[in-house]
Amino acid sequence: GLAPAAKRILQDIQKGDTFACAFGSVSPPNPLSGAWSDARTRGARVHSNSWGGGGNAYGTDAQAIDDFMWRNQDFLIVFAAGNSGSSPGSLGAYSNAKNSVTVGGVVNGSGYENMYGSSSRGPAGDGRTLPDLTTPAQGVESALNNKSAASCGWATYSGTSMATPA
């Protein structure tokens, strides 16, 4: 893998109803710092977030990210840029934080120099150049959560949620 000696802490922020499970709705903690404090206390130093939303503006959520990272400078928060398409300024609100890393997506394989078509792009709401970095977001293989099978296997997905953990 990318980090063979790494250890993982998994945090579930998905709502528990049938609609949420079918469509992937999330319910971030309020305040956001609760999840990061928990992960940091348990030994994590990188927190990967493949969820987002909101408009392209530096608001209270981005401020919360910056505040937590300023107070915990041994901790890195990483956010997916979003999948709002190729228009300039299509980033989500969480991606506007200044102290975190925003990850956009590129085409996987031989087209790696090209942005993935659905990847959100900067500039940030205040004009800063984002995303901070890009990794493959198209046709990325991932573990498959198949509760009905003895072996879960693999699936291929696309989006900045697939790019961010890398």
The predicted structure's pLDDT at residue 144: 77
**Which H or E run includes 106?**
strand 101-106
Other C-beta atoms lying within 10 Å of the C-beta of residue 113: 8
The predicted structure's pLDDT at residue 143: 79
The predicted structure's pLDDT at residue 147: 66
What does the DSSP 8-state code read for residue 105? E
The predicted structure's pLDDT at residue 24: 63
C-beta separation of 44 from 38 below 8 A: no
Cα angle 113-117-118, degrees, rounded to a multiple of 5: 130
Q: What is the pLDDT along the chain (166 residues), one digit of tens a residue?
A: 677 888 788 887 776 666 665 666 777 788 889 999 999 999 999 999 998 788 999 999 999 999 999 999 999 999 999 999 999 999 999 999 999 999 999 999 898 899 999 999 999 999 999 999 999 999 999 877 766 666 678 889 999 999 999 8
The predicted structure's pLDDT at residue 150: 66
The predicted structure's pLDDT at residue 68: 97
Global confidence as pTM: 0.87
Residue 117 corresponds to which tokens in the numbers above?
Answer: 């078509």
